[in-house]
C-alpha cells in the first residue's frame, strides 16, 4: 500500500506545481460549476465542516482557500483539487513525479505477484491521473486499487486501514504500508499492518530515523518477502 506525497513522489512537486494550479482555479470552479454533483457535494461538506449550513459561495471559497494554504487534508478540498488536477493532467498542463527508484521497484514487485494499492489524501480521481500521467508512462495497470479519505477515512485513523483491509480482502498482517509520516504508520500498525517509513533526505515530513518503524531511504532498499505464486 503506497502513500504518494513524500513516499513515491516529491512533496515539492505537489506543493509547488499542483497546489498553486488548483488554488488559482478553485473560486471559478465553485461559481461556474456549482450544479455539478461532485462540486455540490463538496460544497455541502464544507458547510458541514464549518457548521454554517447557509454559507454562501464566497464564504465556502474563502474557507477552501484557507485550508489549501494550510495544506489541510480535508475531503471536500481534496475532491475539488482532484477535479481541477484531473483536467489539468488531461490537458497536458500537469505531469506527475516519481522518484527514480520507485517505478522500477513497482514494476519488479508487480511482476513478482505483489498486489499494489495506493492510499493517499489526494482524491482517487487525482491519484488515477497521477499514475496515468507519470513521465515513465501510464502506471495504472500496476495498481489494483486506489483509496482516499472519502473511501477509507483519514490516514491517521486506524479504522481507515481496517476499512481498506475489508475492501481488499487481504490479511492485515501481510499488508505493508509505505509512508513518510509516522502518524500514518502508527495508525496502520494499530490496525495490524506491516509498516515501512520512507526517510528521503529531501522530504519535509519524513521521520529522520526517529520512528519505531522499519525505515528505508529509497524503494531500492526495500526487500519484499514474496513467496512464489502465493500473493
Ligand atoms: C496526486 S495526489 C495529490 C497529492 C495530495 O493532494 C496529497 O494531499 C498527498 O498526500 P499523501 O497522503 O499522498 O501524502
Ligand atoms: Mg505522504
In 3D, which of 105, 128, 81, 84 has the Cα closest to residue 178?
105
85 Cα nearest atom in ligand 1: 1
Query: Ligand 1 mean position to 4 CA, how many Å?
Result: 6
Compute CA distances 123 → 133, 162, 182, 189, whole Å. Answer: 15, 19, 21, 23
Which are the contacts of 11, defined by CB distance < 8 A and separation ≥ 6? 5, 180, 203, 204, 205
Is pLDDT of 119 > 50? yes
| Domain regions of the chain by residue span | 14-91, 95-221
In 3D, which of 147, 68, 138, 124 has the Cα closest to residue 96?
138
pTM metric for this prediction: 0.94
Amino acid 230: pLDDT: 44
Cell of 180: 513518510
User: What's the ipTM?
Assistant: 0.97
Topology (CATH level 3) of domain 14-91: 1.10.720
**CATH superfamily, domain at 95-221:** HAD superfamily/HAD-like (3.40.50.1000)
What is the residue-averaged pLDDT of the chain? Answer: 95
Query: Ligand 1 mean position to 121 CA, how many Å?
Result: 5
Amino acid 227: pLDDT: 67
Is pLDDT of 36 > 90? yes
pLDDT category, 225, cuts 50, 70, 90?
Answer: confident
Is pLDDT of 231 > 80? no
Is pLDDT of 185 > 80? yes
184 CB under 6 A from ligand 1? no
Is pLDDT of 19 > 70? yes
Residue identifier of the C-alpha nearest atom 7 of ligand 1: 122
Compute CA distances 135 → 92, 104, 131, 216, whole Å. Answer: 12, 13, 9, 24
- Ligand nearest, relative to CA of residue 7: 2
120 CB under 6 A from ligand 1? yes
205 CB under 6 A from ligand 1? no
Say yes or no: do domains 14-91 and 95-221 share a fold: no
5 CB under 6 A from ligand 1? yes
Across residues 107-114, what is the average pLDDT?
96
Query: What is the β-pairing status of strands 176-179 and 194-198?
Result: parallel
In 3D, which of 82, 162, 59 has the Cα closest to residue 130?
82
Amino acid at each position: 500500500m503506497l502513500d504518494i506525497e513524500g513516499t513515491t513522489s516529491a512533496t515539492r512537486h505537489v506543493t509547488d506545481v499542483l497546489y498553486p494550479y488548483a488554488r488559482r482555479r478553485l473560486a471559478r470552479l465553485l461559481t461556474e460549476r456549482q450544479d455539478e454533483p461532485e462540486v455540490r457535494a463538496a460544497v455541502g461538506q464544507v458547510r458541514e465542516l464549518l457548521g454554517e449550513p447557509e454559507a454562501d459561495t464566497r464564504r465556502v471559497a474563502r474557507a477552501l482557500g484557507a485550508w489549501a494554504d494550510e495544506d489541510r487534508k480535508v475531503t471536500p478540498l481534496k475532491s475539488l483539487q482532484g477535479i481541477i488536477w484531473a483536467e489539468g493532467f488531461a490537458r497536458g498542463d500537469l505531469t506527475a513525479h516519481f522518484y527514480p527508484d520507485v517505478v522500477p521497484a513497482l514494476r519488479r514487485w508487480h511482476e513478482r505477484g505483489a498486489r499494489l494499492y495506493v492510499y493517499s489524501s489526494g482524491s482517487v480521481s487525482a491519484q488515477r491521473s497521477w499514475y496515468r500521467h507519470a513521465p515513465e508512462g501510464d502506471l495504472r495497470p500496476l495498481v489494483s486499487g486506489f483509496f482516499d479519505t472519502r473511501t477509507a477515512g483519514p490516514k491517521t485513523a486506524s479504522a481507515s486501514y481496517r476499512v481498506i483491509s475489508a475492501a481488499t480482502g487481504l490479511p492485515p498482517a501481510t499488508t505493508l504500508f509505505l509512508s513518510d509520516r509516522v502518524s500514518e504508520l502508527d495508525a496502520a500498525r494499530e490496525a495490524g499492518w506491516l509498516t515501512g517509513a520512507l526517510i528521503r533526505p529531501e522530504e519535509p515530513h519524513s521521520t529522520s530515523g526517529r520512528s519505531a518503524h522499519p525505515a528505508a531511504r529509497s524503494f531500492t532498499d526495500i526487500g519484499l518477502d514474496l513467496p512464489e505464486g502465493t500473493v
